Chain A
Amino acid sequence: MTVQDWLTMAVLLALAAALVVLALAERRWPTKLRRVAAFAALDSAIERAVEAGERVHLSLGTGSLIGSDCAPALAGAMALAKIAEATTMSDRPVVASAGDGALAVLAQDALRGAYARTGAKEHYRATTGRMLGPTPFSYAAALPVILSSEKVSVHLLIGSFGAEGALAAEMGERQRAYVLAGSDDIQTQALFFTTAEHVLVGEEVFVSGAYLQGTAMQRASLRLQDLVRLALVAAILAGTILATLGVAL
């Protein structure tokens, strides 16, 4: 084990420990969330959809579950569980879709869990978590039908998308739905910036859970992100100075 290994390990452990500590601190010093425009209207949009008997559709994206592009889908699954708890009892509960088999299974698990927690196990249908198509564009091609036939009025894209995400978002806009889109792919974020009504920029896609009244740890993780980001900025500035002074890093 080299020094760097130990270093990385230490950093990881520090991060984990900080996360737990912050989560425990949540009760006394609750995190104050800043305004993220995209989330500002999400709650009421969902509520309105349920009242209107319209459907909330959440997409976990076209990434994979086992790859490095699974993070936004994991965040999306948590958001899905939250939204499902809110909509299990409505005439049209939330429906989730994904462009990958494993993600569809994940969506089903998240939904089943939410239904069970809300005591509506019997209302759970495996078809509320769907794989629309195994490839990104086959997924996008399947969206218009689900959007129109399910009367979707809230169209959430929280997952890993490629360029097909732009199509997916625009299809929601055509439906005049409330479209909130986020991806870990920055190029896709750029496309969302134009095609989606509400876009999650940068890391905002990962914090949807916290902004949906998430768990203490989800909220605490925002603090951790801010702290680490500050540390990164400091490190970059310090490193730049050192590099300028000729200190090899």
Chain B
Amino acid sequence: MCSTLNLEEAETCKLCGSRLKPTGRLGTPSEEPGSQMRLPSTGELPPWLARLRKDVTGRGNLPPDLPPGEPSAPDSEELPLSTPEGGPDWLGRMRQAESEDEGPPEGEVPDWIAKAAPAPSPAPAEGEVPAWLARIRAKAEAEAPIQETPEQEAWPSPAAPEEATPPPAPSSPDLIPEPPATLGIPDWLLGNRPEDSPAAPEPEAPSQPSWLTVSDSDTTGKLPHVPALILDEAGALPPVRDEELGPISVEVPDWMTELQAPPTAAPPEARSNLAPATLPAWLEAMRPVETFRSVVEIEPEEDQTVEAAGPLAGLRGVLLAEPVMAMPRMPTVGGGRLEVTERQFAQAELLHRLVEEEQREAKARPQARARPPLLRWLVSIVLFVAAAVPTFAGGPAFPLPLLQPRELDVLASLVDGAPAGQPVLVVFDYEAGYAGELEAVAGPLIDHLMNRGLPLATLSTRPTGPPLAERLVAQVAARHGAVRQEAFLHLGYLSGGPTAVQLFAAAPTQAVFRGYLGPGGSPWLEPMLQRVHALSDFGMVVVITTGTEIARVWAEQTQPWLAGRPLVMVLSAGAEPMVRPYYEALQPKVQGILSGLPAAVAYELRLAAPGIAQTRWNGFGLGLTGVEGFLIIGLLYGIVAWVLRGRGA
């Protein structure tokens, strides 16, 4: 049709008459699934789900039919997943799809399935509005026969065009949280679509009455909802709406003006969600003009995406058929009043979308250009410098902690009290990324254990654990001249994550098959592990972890098998508060706890063995100081801004 020739600039089109633009956009909403989704209040999700599903089922299958010229490119470019594929047999598939839809709803209490099975749409699944659903069902069944006869004899092909351009009937229920029409139409549309339907718009005209009457009969049931919808939302009407919609009201009959209310006000909550307090008042005021323009600008590409999804690719004016065809029909069965309401629905729908476009633009546009991440740059530079200075420049020296945390004495005495000769199980359960922290924190403990000459057996429930264990243990062992497989060995990776912890606790020797970096064969045959058959044969269990979850699992799942052996946790600073309850409980499940660099430094001081922890101390101190500075400034700034805003309001 000509609409492709005269784009948005043209108000009128030689063929389609003067309502080219509004209809052009009229097409968009009803052709976009989103519009089906939008209008029912969020409370009505299942209905719009069902509608969305039904309305679009056909169109969703169409892409294969669009001419090569049509840009479905963006999709395929983005993603293999959205590249349309499948042959012209989409109709067949669609019918089957429809039938598939008649399954029992998913995710229900089992005994409902029986009841819900015959439902034509999964709507009842949601356990809502069974009343209207019954009605719809009745309608849907009633319609099918009526439509079929004229459809099949007279119009072999019109199915495709109509189906591709869900005209008033589909679009009208969109405004109403009730899907009868949409339920009805696709049913008969899909029900008897000839396998080979080339997109032929012409037959569309005569085919109108049949479904139009249907939609009428449908909409009669819904009339009461129209005022409801308007009233609901007119309340939240922003003052700017007039100029907002001025351009349109030029194009549309004056009755439109009263209709401008619902769409404008429709997503008030949406607005608050979109740009919360980011738009200053003046910008808010300016918004409509510019954003309306922006909508117009983006319209063509929007249309394209829509067309790409239709077999009527290129027939942008198709929806135009609605008002043009419909008006002569008005006199038919009480259609007059109805017809108007339908167009009102359609127009309101259009405005709805316009406003939503605006919101999206208003959200995206101003911010997108607005601020380069200056704050992030500043923070990055400050933190990097602060953390690096002590390293490169020797930097400011922070005083080492004098007093030792209470739990450090407990931990050290645990290590000193560990039975000599019995191996200690050290579980490395942290991401490689945290090696920087936990190697510094756990270093002194490993050092202490090796001081006591306790053989170490490492384990990990993460695939990347064994190399991390090797990193740390080998490093410390080198200092003590400890020999691999005699003073320490790696049991390797315990697969299965938290689940496997229990398996290991119950029967260690059956949970781990092969060591890591060992001579091969079962590590349990090594002399240092020969006497180990159960978890309690380890003199002590040390868990080095960042995750509160894994820490909880070790604390809880291994309890029964530890038989009183101490469980020690070396924790990333963030995880400590979550594990402390296990440590401080009246019957503690964790006997020792070591967390945070200060504790590690104190440990090193206690052992009089300066190590990794102390080399990090100054950088840690300066970096943390920088962070504290930012947080304080942020807090003050936030409060001030808050107070000022409060005054203003």
Shortest CB distance B338–A (Å): 27
CA distance A93 to B84 in the complex (A): 12
Using C-beta atoms within 8 Å of the partner chain, give the interface range for chain A. Answer: 35 or more
Q: Which residue of chain B lies nearest to A170 when distances are taken between CB atoms in the complex?
A: B376
CA distance A51 to B29 in the complex (A): 9
Stretch at the interface among A110-118, A199-207, A228-236: A110-118
CA distance A198 to B191 in the complex (A): 44
CA distance A162 to B273 in the complex (A): 27
- A160 to B549, Cβ gap below 8 A? yes
- A41 to B269, Cβ gap below 8 A? yes
Q: Given the interface contacts A64-B498, A117-B122, A119-B53, does A184 sit within 8 Å of B549 by beta carbon?
A: yes
When distances are taken between beta carbons in the complex, the residues of chain B under 8 Å from A26 are 127
Does A67 reach chain B (CB closer than 8 Å)?
yes
Partner among A44, A119, A128, A137 whose Cβ is within 8 Å of the Cβ of B431: A137
- B269 to A40, Cβ gap below 8 A? yes
- B81 to A212, Cβ gap below 8 A? no
- A215 to B59, Cβ gap below 8 A? no
CA distance A123 to B85 in the complex (A): 8
Does A68 reach chain B (CB closer than 8 Å)?
yes
When distances are taken between beta carbons in the complex, the residues of chain A under 8 Å from B510 are none
- B86 to A122, Cβ gap below 8 A? yes
When distances are taken between beta carbons in the complex, the residues of chain A under 8 Å from B98 are 119
Q: Given the interface contacts A44-B42, A119-B57, A216-B127, does A128 sit within 8 Å of B81 by beta carbon?
A: yes
Shortest CB distance A173–B (Å): 11
Does A159 reach chain B (CB closer than 8 Å)?
no
Does B181 reach chain A (CB closer than 8 Å)?
no
- B546 to A215, Cβ gap below 8 A? no
Partner among A68, A91, A118, A176 whose Cβ is within 8 Å of the Cβ of B498: A68
Number of B residues whose C-beta is below 8 Å from A?
82
Partner among A30, A64, A117, A164 whose Cβ is within 8 Å of the Cβ of B497: A64
- B75 to A92, Cβ gap below 8 A? yes
Q: Which residue of chain B lies nearest to A218 when distances are taken between CB atoms in the complex?
A: B107
Q: Given the interface contacts A23-B109, A51-B353, does A136 sit within 8 Å of B56 by beta carbon?
A: no
- A69 to B107, Cβ gap below 8 A? no
Q: Which residue of chain B lies nearest to A123 when distances are taken between CB atoms in the complex?
A: B60
When distances are taken between beta carbons in the complex, the residues of chain B under 8 Å from A47 are 34, 37-38
- B546 to A163, Cβ gap below 8 A? yes
Chief secondary structure at chain B's binding surface: helix
- B33 to A50, Cβ gap below 8 A? yes
CA distance A215 to B94 in the complex (A): 27
Does A24 reach chain B (CB closer than 8 Å)?
yes
Does A86 reach chain B (CB closer than 8 Å)?
yes
- A117 to B101, Cβ gap below 8 A? yes
When distances are taken between beta carbons in the complex, the residues of chain A under 8 Å from B49 are 82, 85-86, 213
When distances are taken between beta carbons in the complex, the residues of chain A under 8 Å from B97 are 118-122
Q: Which chain A residues in 131-168 approach chain B with CB under 8 Å?
A: 134-137, 149-151, 160, 162-164
Q: Which chain A residues in 6-48 approach chain B with CB under 8 Å?
A: 20, 23-24, 26-27, 30, 40-41, 43-48
Does B103 reach chain A (CB closer than 8 Å)?
yes
Binary interface encoding of chain A residues 175-218 relative to chain B, with 1 for a CB under 8 A from any of its CBs, else 0? 01010000011110010000000000000000001001111111
Q: Which chain A residues in 210-249 approach chain B with CB under 8 Å?
A: 212-219
When distances are taken between beta carbons in the complex, the residues of chain B under 8 Å from A184 are 549
B37, B52, B100, B309 interface centre (most CB from chain A within 10 Å): B37
Does B157 reach chain A (CB closer than 8 Å)?
no
Shortest CB distance A197–B (Å): 9
CA distance A127 to B82 in the complex (A): 9
When distances are taken between beta carbons in the complex, the residues of chain A under 8 Å from B59 are 89
B34, B48, B105, B273 interface centre (most CB from chain A within 10 Å): B34
Does A60 reach chain B (CB closer than 8 Å)?
no
The 9 closest A-B pairs by CB, nearest first: A51-B34, A119-B97, A125-B81, A41-B273, A213-B45, A89-B56, A43-B42, A89-B60, A67-B498
**Chain A residues packing against B (C-beta within 8 Å):** 20, 23-24, 26-27, 30, 40-41, 43-48, 50-53, 55, 63-64, 66-69, 78, 81-82, 85-93, 95, 113, 116-123, 125, 127-128, 134-137, 149-151, 160, 162-164, 176, 178, 184-187, 190, 209, 212-219
Interchain Cβ contacts under 8 Å between A and B, 16 examples: A26-B127, A41-B270, A45-B273, A50-B37, A66-B499, A68-B498, A82-B49, A95-B79, A116-B100, A117-B100, A117-B106, A121-B93, A121-B97, A178-B273, A185-B548, A187-B578
Known: A90-B34, A118-B53, A118-B101; 6 extra A-B contacts, CB below 8 A, are A64-B497, A66-B499, A90-B33, A127-B79, A178-B273, A215-B107
